[in-house]
Amino acid sequence: MGFTKLDYCQYLLSSQINYTLTNLAEHLENFSHDTINRYLRSERITPSLLWDNVKHILQRHENAYLIFDDTVLDKRYAKKIELTRRQYSGNEHRVIRGIGLVSCIYVNPETSQFWVIDYRVYDPDSDGKTKLEHVSEMISSLVTHKQLPFSTVLMDSWYATQKLMQLIDNLHKVYYCPLKRNRLVDDTGGIEKYQAIEHLVWSQPEIEQGKVIKIKGFPGDKKVKLFRVIVSTDKTEFVVTNDKTQDSTDVVQQVCAIRWKIEEFHREIKQLTGVEACQCRKARIQRHHIGCAMLVWLRLKTFAYQTGRTIYQLKHGLLCDYLIQQLKSPVIAMTLA
């Protein structure tokens, strides 16, 4: 039998540290490094394969949350790998060389369980698309093609643009997203000039219930509601929503806390699937490696939900099984003089 995507996914799931093709070939009897490399160059692994695997296991809910965000797969020492470019990393808080990845996760509001359902590799040199266009395409696909029920979209301040927010409005969905502190808004109904959000004056009722504002550059009749949300002792976010019936800052704070599940996803996929570890130069192989890492995370997360364990316990438990086996029947038995 030939090498398959199942073999490669099993390798990413089972390996603990080394995720290179060389290491894989050294642990397979019938397949060489070149054979695996040729397979990954010729195979077709796309986001649609992820959807085929997740659509039957996720828990649909009419009031589900969609969360979009991007991350950078760190390739700072690999200038010759295709797809890499210098871009800002929120994790590093600086510009690094890496591969941009835009992801979408689906959160069930009752169980708080979540699944990755779509992703895009950010490569404007090949497709000319921005991260905002990728998100717009994913939202449209979820509504028209996948027909997945949801009510609310959560996203970072990077995606708080008039075009994307209008798209969500047109779909009759609700969005919550923070605005940058220097974003120009008007809370006086046109009486005064636009001013930066950080300079707004808040009354006590507005602190508790939010205030209606207009964002500069938006249509004249388009008003949204702004909330001042205390994230931590040293961090305050200004969160905007198109749900003008929302009148509780506490509720907005709870909704925004759900957005951090995508940070949990990014941390898990980087630490447990080797998504950043592929050293192959070709863009096609990098794309297929990322697609397989998505499938591996999905398998681990699904099994974690089924067994009541964490995804980390499952992955590191493989080493525990190995240690138990070696203590019972060691390959190299310890001896003393």
**Per-residue model confidence as pLDDT tens digits over 212-271:** 999 999 988 899 999 999 887 788 899 999 999 999 999 999 999 999 999 999 999 999
Query: What band does 332 get if pLDDT is binned at 50, 70 and 90?
Result: very high
Q: Check pLDDT > 70 for residue 33.
A: yes
Q: Check pLDDT > 80 for residue 16.
A: yes
Task: Please state, in angstroms and rounded to a whole number, the distance separating the CA atoms of residues 150 and 165.
Answer: 16
Q: What is the pLDDT of residue 194?
A: 93
Query: What band does 77 get if pLDDT is binned at 50, 70 and 90?
Result: confident
- Compute φ and ψ for 304, nearest 5 degrees: -65, -45
Lowest-confidence segment of 38-47, 84-93, 250-259 by average pLDDT: 84-93
Q: What is the pLDDT of residue 322?
A: 87
Half-sphere exposure of 289 (CA within 13 A, CB side): 24
User: Which two tokens mark 307?
Assistant: 């067994």
Q: Give me the DSSP letters along 82-143.
A: TT-EEEEETTTTEEEEEEEEEEEEEE-TTT--EEEEEEEEE-HHHH---HHHHHHHHHHHHH
Q: What percent of the chain has pLDDT over 90?
A: 77
Q: Check pLDDT > 90 for residue 337.
A: no
Query: What band does 1 get if pLDDT is binned at 50, 70 and 90?
Result: low
Determine the Cα angle at 134 with ends 132 and 137, to 5°.
110
Query: What band does 306 get if pLDDT is binned at 50, 70 and 90?
Result: very high
The string of pLDDT tens digits covering residues 171-182 is 999 999 999 999
Q: What is the pLDDT of residue 2?
A: 82
What's the longest Cα–Cα distance across the chain?
Answer: 91
Lowest-confidence segment of 240-249, 290-299, 314-323 by average pLDDT: 314-323
Q: Check pLDDT > 80 for residue 91.
A: no
